[in-house]
Amino acid sequence: MILSIEQVSISSREKKIVDNVSLSIREGEWYALVGQSGSGKSILSQAIGRMLSPNLQAEGKIIFKEEDLLSLSPKQMRTILGKKLSYIFQDYQGSFTPFRTIGQHLEEYQKAHGILDAKNRKVNSLDAIHSVGLDESLYSRYPFQLSGGQLQRISIAMALLLSPDLLIADEITTALDSVSGHRILELLAKRQKETGCAILFITHDWRHVRRYATRLAVMKEGEIVESGGKHRILDHPQHEYTKRLIQAAPTLGRGLPSGLQEVY
């Protein structure tokens, strides 16, 4: 297993937000964490990278490549984040400074992780831009000069730049239209095959779960209520909450732009 979450609970002073959650992700797989807004999905993903706000405390174990992340020092975590464990956030636009070019963002990211040779950084940056199907002219452009879909592609390029073992993708198509969202996920699936990384995919869209995930877990009010193989859960859900979510989901293919429905 690349990641094992063992009896993790996350609490504030007022309440418990995540309660005794356990799940595991295999190397190279696409694992979906599904649930409605407020179910605790994103909070759990933030705990993996030790990104919780100061008012939240996590207990339990988060084992990543045989190390318990919750026991590591901030300095030790910095050697893991970006290089071995990387994120794509829902608010991907917030990851970019408007007065720095795309090239500067990509190069600063590498520099922060120990790639000091300027020539290598530029070559790596251009390769990363090409890897997500974009033209190298974007290297000298600013974030506000890119479309939402282009900027999301750059965020994927940056997240995979250092070849992490695990990528956490948190609702990455929420701000995109159906066409752009579909293309982003197809791109991510392609890059996953090329790099061999595992993906923890946080979503509420069952169409994406059916198309991309291998296994999944369903969260409700901070608890995992059901987990297992994709086909078993989608075709034979056991928990009433899972049944209601699937019944309420749009029919697969409905609402997609013409020409994309057949891929679902």
| Tens-digit pLDDT profile for residues 103-138 | 999 999 999 998 989 999 999 999 999 999 999 999
Residue 190 lies in a domain: yes
What is the structure's pLDDT at 148? 86
Say if residue 257's pLDDT is above 60.
no
d(CA 169, CA 171): 6
Residues facing 33 on adjacent strands: 202, 217
Q: In a 3-state reduction of DSSP, which class is residue 77? A: helix
Query: What is the average per-residue pLDDT within 39-60?
Result: 95
Residue 144 lies in a domain: yes
User: Of 73, 70, 45, 74, which Cα lies nearest the Cα of 58?
Assistant: 70
Residue 262 lies in a domain: no
Q: In a 3-state reduction of DSSP, which class is residue 105? A: helix
The CATH code of the domain that includes 201 is: 3.40.50.300
Q: How far is CA 243 from the centre of its chain?
A: 25
What is the structure's pLDDT at 92? 72
What is the structure's pLDDT at 174? 80
- Residues 18-37 pLDDT 10s: 999 999 999 999 999 999 98
Residues facing 168 on adjacent strands: 87, 200
Write out the two tokens for 41: 């999905």
At 253, the pLDDT band (50, 70, 90 cuts) reads very low
Query: What is the average per-residue pLDDT within 233-256?
Result: 81
Q: Amino acid letter at 194?
A: E
What is the structure's pLDDT at 241? 95
Residue 53 lies in a domain: yes
Mean pLDDT of the chain: 90
The torsion of the CA quartet 225, 240, 34, 30, rounded to 10 degrees, works out to: 80
At 263, the pLDDT band (50, 70, 90 cuts) reads very low
What is the structure's pLDDT at 251? 65
Helices and strands, counts by H and E, the chain:
9, 10
Residue 264 lies in a domain: no
Phi, psi for 165 (deg, rounded to 5): -85, -25
Residue 259 lies in a domain: no
Domain count, the chain: 1
Q: Are strands 198-203 and 166-170 parallel, antiparallel or unpaired?
A: parallel
- CB atoms < 10 A from the CB of 149, how many? 19
Q: Give the helix ranges, DSSP H, for the chain.
A: 41-48, 74-78, 102-112, 118-131, 148-159, 178-195, 206-212, 230-235, 240-248
Would you call 115 exposed, middle or buried from its count of C-beta atoms within 10 A (0-12, 13-18, 19+)? middle
At 258, the pLDDT band (50, 70, 90 cuts) reads very low
Q: Which domain holds residue 198?
A: 3-253
Write out the two tokens for 243: 């049944």
d(CA 145, CA 149): 12
